Structure 1
């Protein structure tokens, strides 16, 4: 789980956000890296939060589905929250724009293609068609009689705290991949402790996508986990995790 975080200096405007509606979706543009082989795709990739694609070998869908050319594994990501507005009183603190559920991939860079919108702090004047790709923007608020601007724009990615995600899924099936050996566990989440150690029951083990047997009750230490997610959108096969 990742959050795309915006930091900027706003002058005279507030409520900065991408223009993102079902009628006119915003296409979020990223550089993507495979977490299995660490290969970074050379081209930018774009997707929006309204369109979904089938995940091969699964009944699930995601906003973005990608097959790594290096290791041939299929990964996915979906926008699960946002977009959120950047307010004037958030100056330089950083605000989460969107939250992303990433499975087998990471986003390493963001490019602000597309239109953004904001409004004047005092006048409420709407500003549309804002281009943040140059990392600065200037205009004039006729109602307020003053110049407005957005400067010092930067983008970062922050990992989301997975604990609330897991606590809400006690009693449901999860897929957990370890950091080494292409080892995955599929089981029902029994509990999670304050150190983020995970207890699974009715656990099945898979190595290189092949089932190796049933382990029953398994405790997995948090520092051994590469990623985890709900099993409802993932299928384990002898061809690998999809």
Structure 2
């Protein structure tokens, strides 16, 4: 999982956020990299947090489904939290705008296309249609009688610590994909240790989407794991019957 973090200097405005509603969604624009072959897609890709697309080989869905041109593997990503507001005093530490569940891919760059909104710090004047693609924005707050601005804009991608996610799911079913062989395991999370090694109970093995049998209790070392997620969001199917 990744978080998109914003750093910016806000003068006279606060509560900066994308204009993002189901009726008028914001399209988040990224450069994407395959974590299997490390190929970075040359074009920008965009998606919103409301649309869902089918993931080939399962009945699961995601906001973004992508097939790597080099290794031909299909990966996905979904926005699971946000967008959060960026307040005027958060420049030093930055602020998570959104959190993304990435499966087999990473985002390596962000372009702030689309419109944002904020409000006056003192006047609460609503500012809409803010464009940040040029890296800065200026306007005038008539109620406050002063100029307002957003500048020194920077974006970072930070990994989200998966341990709280996993610890909260002990006793529930997970799906784990390994880094090779299109191999996945579905089972009940028994425990997780300080090194992020995962112990599954009542484990089923899937290769290329096909169920190859039940293995029971399985220990999976963290350095073999490509991604993992709740089984209720990924339904395994037999590709031979799809």
Does the pair score TM above 0.5?
A: yes
The answer as to 2:175 corresponding to 1:175 is yes
Query: Which TM-score applies when normalising by structure 1?
Result: 0.90
Structure 1 position 213, deviation (Å): 4.8
Structure 1 position 33, deviation (Å): 1.1
Q: Report if the CA contact (8 A) 2:57-2:239 is conserved.
A: no
Counterpart in 2 of 1:63? Answer: 63
Change (3 A) 1:61 1:208: closer
For each residue in 1:48-103, what CA deviation from the matched residue of structure 2 results, as whole angstroms up to 9, or x when unmatched?
11111111221111111111222222211111110000001212311000011111
Q: Report if the CA contact (8 A) 2:103-2:226 is conserved.
A: no
Query: Which TM-score applies when normalising by structure 2?
Result: 0.90
Structure 1 position 236, deviation (Å): 5.0
Equivalence map 1:183-194=2 (5 Å): 183-194=183-194
Equivalence map 1:155-174=2 (5 Å): 155-174=155-174
SS of match in other structure, 2:17: strand
Q: Report if the CA contact (8 A) 2:83-2:97 is conserved.
A: yes
SS of match in other structure, 1:170: coil
Cα-Cα RMSD: 2.2
Counterpart in 2 of 1:121? Answer: 121
| Structure 1 gaps, min length 5 | none
Cα distance in 2 for partners of 1:86, 1:98 equals 11
Cα distance in 2 for partners of 1:217, 1:131 equals 53
SS of match in other structure, 2:89: helix
Counterpart in 2 of 1:151? Answer: 151
SS of match in other structure, 1:163: helix
Equivalence map 1:98-113=2 (5 Å): 98-113=98-113
Cα distance in 1 for partners of 2:25, 2:207 equals 40
Equivalence map 1:187-226=2 (5 Å): 187-206=187-206, 213-226=213-226
- For these two proteins, the number of residue pairs brought into alignment is 241
